[in-house]
């Protein structure tokens, strides 16, 4: 379609430019000025750990999620670990965790002294289902850590009902789902606690490590505020009064300024991700690549755009040759990893098959629709070629 410049030289062919798997520089540019202003204020007030900026972000984040409270912590793994400990879950207790997740979900359970019990996932959504949860329940089960992997929620209507029926605590690992909803309700607001990571690449990402726990339980919030700060009493004069075993997992003002600035863009960025996902859904050949399914009552925020394909590693190489970057989330299910296989009690066929087939396509708000089309077409061509 290019007709050349007035000098007669051909215009660069756009399709030769590489498409990265992830590029967060566009999002950074959107907020850079606001962040500089926020950091100037921080340099004046000197409140680097905790302080005004952290309190402001915690308030905004709880409001956004539709919960009463948010407790800022150092990262997403700590959010899970701290919440599990504050819930009184520890040695002798089991927490159900999907086998197809980032390792941190299982890691946090073990760090809290409890036992992860791995459950299989659905082949369409690659998420926990009411059935796979039920199959993993034992008399020692205290909680379910539901993971909204790739930015989509599983059937929260059925899962909250099961937890109520069986008396299990619902913990949400919403690290990939900032702003995702189920029946209009936000991720993080269904469980007793909702745990978030704000690692730079997440939908809401800091300029370093950061995390938060949201909840509407005032007592639990007080306990978490204390545990994240060496178990200190949070009342006046409590600085040297360490009433519970704590840890150091505080959110710093430098990151809180970034998070508050980015939060104002989150819905718009998520909308961009949805539009890109719609393009993938429209163009990718469903006979050769199975895009992760979105349940009807959910609205995803597509942290990742995952397809299942045959010969995944070969597909990945061929896409790379065409300049299209991809990722794998995740190549090894948790229950077969070194530190966790001791907790596995049998194969989990869907998670194991998916680990060999899943491929994450480029997905970030500033990816252009043109590039998404090139990715979809490139994928279709590569798959057709391998089919021959």
Ligand X SMILES: *Cc1c(COP(=O)(O)O)cnc(C)c1O
Which residue, 42 or 109, is less far from ligand X as judged by CB?
109
Taking CB under 6 A as the rule, does residue 179 contact ligand X? no
C-beta of residue 208 within 8 angstroms of C-beta of residue 199: no
Which residue, 19 or 334, is less far from ligand X as judged by CB?
334
Using CB under 6 A as the binding rule, the residues of this chain from 147 to 166 that contact ligand X are 147
Taking CB under 6 A as the rule, does residue 277 contact ligand X? no
Taking CB under 6 A as the rule, does residue 104 contact ligand X? yes
Which residue, 232 or 329, is less far from ligand X as judged by CB?
329
Q: Which of 102, 150, 280, 364 binds ligand X (CB under 6 A)?
A: 102
Taking CB under 6 A as the rule, does residue 114 contact ligand X? no
Q: Which stretch binds ligand X (CB under 6 A): 101-109, 179-187, 264-272, 378-386?
A: 101-109
Which residue, 111 or 336, is less far from ligand X as judged by CB?
111
Least distance in angstroms from the C-beta of 308 to ligand X: 19
Which residue, 75 or 279, is less far from ligand X as judged by CB?
75
Cα distances (Å, whole numbers) of residue 60 to 63, 69, 212, 278, 282: 5, 9, 12, 29, 35
Which residue, 279 or 360, is less far from ligand X as judged by CB?
360
Distance of alpha carbon 45 from alpha carbon 131, whole angstroms: 52
Taking CB under 6 A as the rule, does residue 119 contact ligand X? no
Least distance in angstroms from the C-beta of 362 to ligand X: 18
Which residue, 147 or 319, is less far from ligand X as judged by CB?
147
Taking CB under 6 A as the rule, does residue 64 contact ligand X? no
Least distance in angstroms from the C-beta of 202 to ligand X: 6
Site size for ligand X, by CB under 6 A?
A: 15
Taking CB under 6 A as the rule, does residue 173 contact ligand X? yes
Mapped to the 3 state alphabet, what secondary structure does the chain carry? Answer: CCCCCCCCCCCCCHHHCCECCCCCHHHHHHHHHHHHHHHHHHHHHCCCECCHHHHHHHHHHHHHHCCCEEEEECCHHHHHHHHHHHCCCCCCCEEEEECCCCCHHHHHHHHCCCEEEEECCCCCCCCCCHHHHHHHCCCCEEEEEEECHHHCCCCHHHHHHHHHHHCCEEEEECCCCCCCEECCEECCCCCCEEEEECCCCCCCCCCCCCEEEEECCHHHHHHHHHHCECCECCCCCCCCCECCCCCECCCEHHHHHHHHHHHHHHHHHHHHHHHHHHHHHHHCCCCCCEECCCCCCEECCCCCEEEECCCHHHHHHHHHHCCECCECCCCCCHHHCCCCHHHCCCCCHHHHHHHHHEEEECCCCCCCHHHHHHHHHHHHHHHHHHHC
Using CB under 6 A as the binding rule, the residues of this chain from 67 to 96 that contact ligand X are 75-77
Q: Which stretch binds ligand X (CB under 6 A): 125-133, 135-143, 169-177, 343-351?
A: 169-177
Among all residues, whose Cβ is closest to ligand X? Answer: 76
Which residue, 173 or 299, is less far from ligand X as judged by CB?
173
Taking CB under 6 A as the rule, does residue 125 contact ligand X? no
Using CB under 6 A as the binding rule, the residues of this chain from 184 to 243 that contact ligand X are 197, 199, 209, 211
What is the binding site for ligand X (CB under 6 A)? 75-77, 101-102, 104-105, 147, 173, 175-176, 197, 199, 209, 211
């Amino acid at each position: 379609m290019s007709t050349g410049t007035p000098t007669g030289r051909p215009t660069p062919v756009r399709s030769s430019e590489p498409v990265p798997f992830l590029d967060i520089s566009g999002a950074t540019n959107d907020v850079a000025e606001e962040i500089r202003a926020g950091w100037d204020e921080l340099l004046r007030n000197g409140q680097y750990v905790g302080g005004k900026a952290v309190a402001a972000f915690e308030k905004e984040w709880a409001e956004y999620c539709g919960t009463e409270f948010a407790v800022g912590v150092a990262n997403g793994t700590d959010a899970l670990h701290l919440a599990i400990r504050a819930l009184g879950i520890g040695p002798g207790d089991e927490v159900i965790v999907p086998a197809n997740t980032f390792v941190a979900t299982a890691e946090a359970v073990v760090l809290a002294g409890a036992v992860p019990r791995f459950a299989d996932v659905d082949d369409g959504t690659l998420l926990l289902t009411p059935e796979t949860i039920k199959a993993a329940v034992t008399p020692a089960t205290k909680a379910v850590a539901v993971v909204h992997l790739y930015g989509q929620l599983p059937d929260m209507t059925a899962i909250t009902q099961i937890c109520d029926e069986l008396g299990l605590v619902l913990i949400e690992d919403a690290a990939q789902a900032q702003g995702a909803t189920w029946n209009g309700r936000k991720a993080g607001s269904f469980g007793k606690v909702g745990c978030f990571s704000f690692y730079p690449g997440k939908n809401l990402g800091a300029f370093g490590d950061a995390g938060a726990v949201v909840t509407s339980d005032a007592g639990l919030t007080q306990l978490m505020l204390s545990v994240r700060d060496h178990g200190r009493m949070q009342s006046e004069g409590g600085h040297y009064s360490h009433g519970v075993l704590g840890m150091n997992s505080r959110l710093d003002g430098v990151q809180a300024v970034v998070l508050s600035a980015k939060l104002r863009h989150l819905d718009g960025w998520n909308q961009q991700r949805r539009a890109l996902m719609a393009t993938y859904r429209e163009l990718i050949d469903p006979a050769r690549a199975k895009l992760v399914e979105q349940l009807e009552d959910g609205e995803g925020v597509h942290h990742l755009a995952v397809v299942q394909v045959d010969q995944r590693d070969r597909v990945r190489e061929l896409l790379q040759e065409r300049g299209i970057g991809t990722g794998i989330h995740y190549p090894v299910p948790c229950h077969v990893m070194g530190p966790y296989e001791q907790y596995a009690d049998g194969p989990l066929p869907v998670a194991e098959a998916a680990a060999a087939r899943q491929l994450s396509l480029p997905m970030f708000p500033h990816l252009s629709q043109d590039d998404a089309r090139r990715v979809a077409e490139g994928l279709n061509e590569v798959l057709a070629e391998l089919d021959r």
